[in-house]
Amino acid sequence: MGACDPENTGDLEPRALQDADANVDVTAIEIEDAAETLVLALEDNDDQAMQSCEESQSVTIEVFHFQFSDIFAINLVPTGLFPPRPDDIDTFIEPELEDGFIAAFKAFDLQGNLIGFGTEQEVLDFANAETATTFTLTLPERGTLMFGEQEDIAPLLDEVNDMDASQDYVRTYDPPRVDVSTIPGTGRIIGGTGEFENITGSAIEIGVTHSIDLIEREFDLEVYMVLAYTTN
């Protein structure tokens, strides 16, 4: 992790991949790379970056995680890539909301402990294959936090378009497909409450896809949110 090792890195073995060594290696490496990128960015932005590790602020790394099955509500246009959840939810049929997406999920740590709940909110820009994404997390024992990013969704759209063009409507990935969707330098912690009230830092989102079924609109995927922050 460089000269100043971050605190609270925890066990980097993802919950859903514990029984597949190759998959664990792939995802854990991505998480470690993301954490190192964030730590280096914080150190570069430190006005006292030349201080020794003992004199500078310690960096905390945290990873939050959810699977598609942990999502209890999804809202978007009825014809969107993902199916609305529940089926009778009042979807975004208004023109003012047609580029919107929101998912509400249960949040876990890397050891599989349920620690809270959150939302992922997106404004889609299909012309540039990007989204303006905001995450909120509520951790009842600790507080709340919010972070935002610009996401590159071109790899996902390219994959879906290729599946459609080739009429290969169901694909399984072994090892899983791993995509770092955060556009470099855009993931920022916006604010928080409780123990997150005075933190400053950055974030990276990693998507892990095990299968896509365009016919049934079913997805076996996971999202890892890697945060690095200091407390002011």
Burial class (CB in 10 A: 0-12, 13-18, 19+), 206: buried
Whether 49 has a pLDDT exceeding 90, the answer reads: no
Calculate the average pLDDT of the chain: 84
CA distances from 152 to 40, 82, 179, 205 (A): 22, 17, 10, 11
Whether 110 has a pLDDT exceeding 50, the answer reads: yes
In the chain, the percentage of residues whose pLDDT exceeds 90 is: 71
What mean pLDDT is predicted for residues 41-56?
48
Whether 169 has a pLDDT exceeding 50, the answer reads: yes
What mean pLDDT is predicted for residues 23-32?
60
* DSSP conformation class of 117: E
The closest alpha carbon to 173, from 121, 219, 215, 139, belongs to 219
Domains and CATH numbers, the chain: 15-231 (2.40.480)
**pLDDT band per the 50, 70, 90 thresholds, residue 58:** confident
In whole angstroms, what is the distance from residue 180 CA to residue 31 CA?
9
Whether 176 has a pLDDT exceeding 60, the answer reads: yes
The pLDDT of residue 43: 59
pTM of the model: 0.83
What mean pLDDT is predicted for residues 44-51?
46
Whether 168 has a pLDDT exceeding 60, the answer reads: yes
Whether 103 has a pLDDT exceeding 90, the answer reads: yes
More confident of the two residues 26 and 36: 36
pLDDT digits over 121-151, tens only? 999 999 999 999 999 999 998 999 999 999 9
The pLDDT of residue 27: 61
Whether 13 has a pLDDT exceeding 70, the answer reads: no
What mean pLDDT is predicted for residues 197-204?
94
The pLDDT of residue 69: 95
What DSSP element (H or E) covers 74?
strand 71-75
In the chain, the percentage of residues whose pLDDT exceeds 70 is: 80
In whole angstroms, what is the distance from residue 146 CA to residue 134 CA?
7
First to last CA, the chain: 22
The pLDDT of residue 59: 86
Highest mean pLDDT, choosing among 25-34, 55-64, 159-168: 159-168
